């Protein structure tokens, strides 16, 4: 996976590498998100919907529409150009009960990748959650644990749409995805966006969605 935690089967608190199903079209949709006024927090009727893409190919079109090269779309984690550590996918019959529980906590129905990890722009891991709230809650749990992913807290890890999630391999090169309407999931209790940026409630308690991308030089 490229959840910026290079781990494999049998290691606690990880997402395991799995064999992914082929690209398809039927999808459970997550709840539409919302956009807030530029410097405030939005929710409910005050918020605009997040971009929606129900299949891997739909997400590919969205990324390409944002001016980024989403070529070589694949659901094969070992395909050329994909992250060396693979990416999160649904559980399968080869997983133990413990592994299955760990994987299923992310509620990933399908996942894939496009772009080129080693290029200047990088690539994008695509997740299609069957339950967006469960996905966000599981990230919050991982990111706030002492032995989890605390290093991702300040910036956030995932770019979120209404029913899909992106994990860029190059965040600075992916700013146009925020301009296209995606928002970063941030679960840092101390997070505060500068004036002029959007903030709205995420589906996970204690988390927000924002179009503010922290500059690594400010960390």
Using the predicted structure, report yes or no on whether residue 19 has a pLDDT greater than 70.
Answer: no
pLDDT in tens, 27-77: 333 334 333 333 445 544 334 589 999 999 999 999 999 999 999 999 998
**Chain centroid offset of residue 182 CA:** 10
Model pTM?
Answer: 0.77
183-186 and 208-210 strand pairing: antiparallel
- Selection from 58, 191, 144 nearest residue 136 by Cα: 144
To which residue do tokens 């991982």 refer? 142
Give me Rg for the CA atoms of the chain: 16
pLDDT in tens, 163-203: 999 999 888 788 999 999 999 999 988 888 899 999 999 99
pLDDT in tens, 78-130: 898 898 888 889 888 888 898 889 889 999 999 999 998 888 888 999 999 99
- Selection from 71, 79, 170, 66 nearest residue 118 by Cα: 170
Choice between 3 and 27, residue whose per-residue pLDDT is larger: 3
Arithmetic mean of pLDDT over the chain: 78
- Sort 219 into a burial class: Cβ within 10 Å, 0-12 / 13-18 / 19+: exposed
């Amino acid at each position: 996976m490229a959840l910026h935690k290079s781990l494999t089967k049998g290691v606690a608190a990880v997402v395991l590498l799995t064999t992914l199903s082929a690209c398809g079209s039927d999808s459970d949709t997550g709840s539409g998100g919302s956009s807030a006024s530029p410097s405030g927090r939005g929710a409910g009727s005050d918020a605009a919907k997040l971009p929606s893409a129900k299949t891997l190919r739909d997400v590919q079109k969205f990324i390409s529409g944002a001016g980024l090269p989403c070529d070589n779309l694949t659901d094969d984690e070992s395909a050329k150009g994909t992250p060396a550590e693979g990416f999160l996918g649904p559980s399968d019959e080869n997983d133990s009960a413990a592994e299955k529980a760990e994987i299923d906590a992310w509620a990933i129905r399908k996942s894939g990748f496009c772009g080129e990890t080693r290029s200047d722009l990088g690539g994008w891991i695509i997740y299609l959650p069957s339950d967006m709230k469960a996905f966000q809650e599981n990230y919050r749990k991982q990111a706030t644990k002492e032995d989890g992913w605390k290093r991702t807290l300040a910036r956030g890890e995932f770019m979120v749409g209404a029913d899909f999630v992106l994990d860029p391999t190059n965040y600075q090169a992916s700013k146009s995805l925020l301009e296209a309407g995606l928002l970063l999931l941030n679960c840092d209790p101390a997070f505060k966006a500068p004036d002029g940026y959007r903030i709205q409630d995420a589906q996970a308690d204690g988390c927000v969605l924002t179009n503010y991308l922290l500059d690594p030089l400010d960390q």
